[in-house]
Chain A
């Protein structure tokens, strides 16, 4: 069973009389443990696709199966629960709570979960350790650098041990050094079996993945394995 399977996915944005198609018949599948990059110029529909895959938006037409079950079978609350339990999100703008510590930010998804409160600290600290920020646990997020902020966001995405992590241009706001560190973490997570979908418009970032899906005008232009994967320890990123 594929983790994610979409078939003839279509999305049309309607603003009054004007209809803007964003996706026009997209089909693919993603296996557990895969690291897939979705590429395309702006307006190609990659963000729309990510939102639909992440249960943040509905398609206009087509079918989306997550863990074998059609998304239409879920209620709004169930969708929120699945987002909470099985999905992790990393955004370009970090989206951390200001004036709040690293620990509290990472803990945030746990508040909405059914995990016992007595375990929250332990789980959160483990996630923070995974992104190498144990020395910043009680810092407020405003005191962190951009790269550190994104690492907090990754720890927050990890904390619920999700089936899949969606990363939307995670290096887009970072310098190349910090970006390299972020990719290193993402790569390491994938090495441990974490499924990852990465959205990017940079080819050199996409080449860390195993597979690149290129979108153009809302349709798949190409869907290819990466023959020569980049690895953080031997690429142009300074470690």
Chain B
């Protein structure tokens, strides 16, 4: 018997029980839909976040104090005050780091901002004007800081849109007004536009002040939490990283690189890390969705067993007129695989459609630049998995059919 005729026979078998066949594949349809949806959305999220990281510039290099934390409990012990003003000054010297184009020290921390009887719990970022370019956010009212304000540790602040809502009535003008953080009075020189809570990095809640001001008057510290450096070109990033390491090690009298009291992260590393995390997350969710496939597979096995019993006569007849056990096994196995494959294809179409809908909704209502992506790998996986489910859960009923005694099968009423 040729495969073509075996297929024809199986298709006919499925057709005679059309509504039952459709109900049977429902479990597979749902399972594959879920997997495709998760994988497609996961890919979309990854593209979105990586896009945002990339928009910060592939030339930026972040220097953090301490060593690379090895775990959550480790991150506290790695906290140090190793990044000092001298490091920033030395890094700026052309003789030390020739390809450095810009540098931004960052200090940050949680504080409470007050204005009259209004209170707002906020995150304070001490930065310079470079932040606006990196995070692509510019004041919609007012301006950035002047060099003079940064140098003189002036009490000026750029506030996020949400912080403004918390501290001011809706019709109040914020620009030029004063708010208080600790005992320091800060004059508002700029208001940031609303970015939306789905954005990767949000300054909606935050207060932005010159790093000099934040260091001295708000946190009272002499070190930096981060230093961000931009290389003059992408090709020079690796070289610049090495130059930075040499400079800081010299400053800190470190000879053994294993004893570094700072670590460096480039944009490429950050992207690697984020995509690794998102991949793991996507796989995890897809694995949960795959459980429904097992349930669907058991459903298929159940129905196939019923079908085999119901068609005992047919099996007996086929054997009597010359079908071998292999012929019968092939017929029922193909029926199971066809069922799950059809379920898989429907699931892929549904999953892709839902993902497309989700991308429209996320773009329209959440204000995200969410592009619809349909990973071919997910579709192939879906097809492979559904065929596999058919094979695994179809083999038992098919064997039962193949091993039926033709006499018993013909006698069966």
List residues of A whose CB falls within 8 A of some B CB.
51, 54, 56-57, 76-77, 80-81, 83-85, 89, 91, 93, 95, 97-100, 104, 108-109, 111-113, 117, 156, 160
Contacts and interface: CB of A to CB of B under 8 A. Distances in A.
Given A111-B5, A112-B327, A95 B316 contact: yes
B357 interface: no
Contacts of A95: 313, 316-317, 320, 410
Contacts of B325: 76
A113 B320 CA distance: 13
Contacts of A156: 321
Contact of B322 (A57, A83, A97, A98): A83
B9 interface: yes
A112 B9 CA distance: 11
Contacts of A97: 314, 317
A80 B316 contact: no
Contacts of B410: 56, 91, 93, 95
B323 A112 contact: yes
Given A100-B12, A112-B327, A84 B321 contact: yes
A187 to B, nearest CB: 23
Given A80-B324, A83-B322, 8 more contacts: A77-B326, A81-B324, A95-B316, A98-B16, A109-B321, A112-B1, A112-B324, A160-B322
A85 B322 contact: yes
B404 to A, nearest CB: 12
7 contacts: A77-B324, A80-B323, A83-B319, A84-B323, A95-B320, A97-B314, A100-B12
Contact of B321 (A57, A93, A99, A108): A108
Given A95-B316, A100-B12, A117-B2, A51 B321 contact: no
Contacts of B361: none
Contacts of A109: 321-322
A176 B12 CA distance: 35
B318 interface: yes
Question: Helix, strand, loop or mixed for chain B's interface?
Answer: helix
Interface extent on B, as a size class? 20 to 34
Interface string B313-349: 1101111111111110000000000000000000000
A56 B320 contact: yes
A200 B18 CA distance: 39
A83 B318 CA distance: 11
A15 to B, nearest CB: 13
Nearest to B16: A99
A76 B322 contact: no
Contacts of A99: 15-16
A81 B322 CA distance: 6
B137 interface: no
Contacts of B1: 111-112
A156 B318 CA distance: 12
A113 B327 CA distance: 11
B295 interface: no
A139 to B, nearest CB: 16
A76 B410 CA distance: 18
Contacts of B193: none
Contact of A51 (B2, B324, B326, B407): B407
A107 B52 CA distance: 65
A100 B1 CA distance: 19
B331 to A, nearest CB: 10
B131 to A, nearest CB: 73
Nearest to A168: B410
B233 to A, nearest CB: 68
Interface string B386-413: 0000000000000000000011001000
Contacts of B323: 80, 84, 112
B5 A117 contact: yes
Contacts of A85: 322
Contact of B319 (A80, A93, A113, A160): A80
Contacts of A54: 320
A112 B317 contact: no
A81 B1 CA distance: 12
Contacts of B12: 100, 104
A117 B407 CA distance: 29
Contacts of A83: 319-322
A77 B327 CA distance: 10
Contacts of A81: 322, 324
Given A95-B313, A99-B16, A100-B12, A112 B320 contact: no
A51 B408 CA distance: 11
Nearest to A88: B321
A97 B12 CA distance: 11
B328 to A, nearest CB: 10
Contacts of B327: 112
B321 to A, nearest CB: 4
Contacts of B9: 111
A111 B15 CA distance: 19
A92 to B, nearest CB: 10
Contacts of A100: 12, 16
A84 B322 contact: yes
Contacts of A113: 322
B320 A89 contact: yes
Interface string B1-42: 110010001001001100000000000000000000000000
